[in-house]
Amino acid sequence: MLAILTSEYHKSGQILRKGRKERKKSKKPEPPPYESMPLALMQDLVVEMTTLGIDLFVCAILYYSYHGLTSTADSVLSAPQVSLEAIAEGRERPELPYAVVRGRVRPLGSSLNSQYSAKTEGVIQKVSFVEHASKVNVSGYWSSNEREMHTFANSVPFGLTPTSGGPESSPAVVEVTQWERAWRVDLDVVYDHFDDSGVSVGGSVVGLLSGDIHRGVLTTERMLCTDSVVTAIGELSVGKDGGAVVTVPRNGKSYFIVKATPQSLAQDLRDDASAIGRIILVGPRPILT
């Protein structure tokens, strides 16, 4: 009798274990959370995350520009101002990683003559030809369009002499090199003329039909004129010939050849930084509504 009961007990246990295995096999796995999410909600989430990434990228670029401008303004204000008279008299050694020198522009040889303005001489010359036209945009409206047709630049070696001596009083004390690598170079507009194309009536009709009307060409000549007073901010060192040279700083700071004083230049940089800062404070548009 006991043997029969033991046999029946083992059979019932096997049946129960088999039933549990079958229930486990028949149970469907739960879908991942994202599969149960509605498709429209997933699409909205992707759009919002993409927009957030773009906003953060733009803010990072703006902050980098803001930090660069403020750092440059601080560097300009903290740079020591070196007297050209002291360099000429040997009282100042021209060896500074970042310094400010201010003086009159002097060519180290022959100067450049303006191509369009008589009796105008300088050491840097830039001429540009810009085409002005009216075109129909993608919205179907007429808009002004400018295209730079050609530009060229010329320069001659030049330096700075003390401002106290007056024009044509003394040769250059400090040579200014690598001006084309300066962050900002202030040039005077010595010639600015718009040459109207004088389109005929027939040409105007053709332009209206084609959506492109040629207006004319603007010719502009800019020069750094001889005897103009400028501020050079860069590395001050001794050149190969033993003379003082101001050039691009090797420490990575910005190089300037401007007419403003260091204080005015720093204020301009801070104004630009403030404009960018206001954009950053506005911040990205609200992502979630």
- The DSSP result for 102-157, as a single string, is EEEEEESSPPEEPSSSTT-EEEEEEEEEEEEEEEE-TTS-EEEEEEEEEEEEEE--
Mean pLDDT of each 10-residue bin along the chain, 289 residues long: 49 55 56 60 79 83 89 94 86 86 93 91 95 74 82 95 70 90 95 78 58 81 95 91 89 94 94 88 54
User: Does the reported pTM lie above 0.85?
Assistant: no
> What amino acid is encoded at 21 in this protein?
K
- CB neighbours of residue 253 within 10 Å: 19
Q: Are strands 188-196 and 212-225 parallel, antiparallel or unpaired?
A: antiparallel
Query: How far is Cα 180 from Cα 224, in angstroms, rounded to an integer?
Result: 12
* Per-residue pLDDT at 140: 67
> What amino acid is encoded at 158 in this protein?
F
